[in-house]
Structure 1
Amino acid sequence: MLETDPEWRKSSYSDKEGACVEVALWGGETLVRDSKAPTLPGHSYPAPAWRAFLRHLR
């Protein structure tokens, strides 16, 4: 069973105004949203795709 709300985390690189990307783990997916517009729809990525993305960044 899923939680009622995902637990969003901000990047440690966010600026003083909090403008950054937020991510949350949600039922095997990674959710991504703009912290300046948290009520707008974000994006959802399957866990393997998100891991591949992070590997590519390194």
Structure 2
Amino acid sequence: MTQENDVKRPIQELEHDPIQKIETQPHDAPEKNEKANQALHSVTTLMQKIQRQPMVAHRS
């Protein structure tokens, strides 16, 4: 389109409610976070043990 053919839409005010503020802090229960942290710690510890002690698939 050239500037001569450029059609502009008329500006009009939008009718909507104001945007509400979103809280960024999670509201998880402390028990849930504690269980998740325990599970994560257990898995991390297990993976560290596996990495330190690789299994031998076969011996020649």
Name the TM-score, length of structure 1 as normaliser: 0.28
Larger Rg: 2
Q: Which has the higher helix share?
A: 2
Which protein has greater RCO, CA pairs closer than 8 Å, 6+ apart?
1
Q: Which has the higher strand share?
A: 1
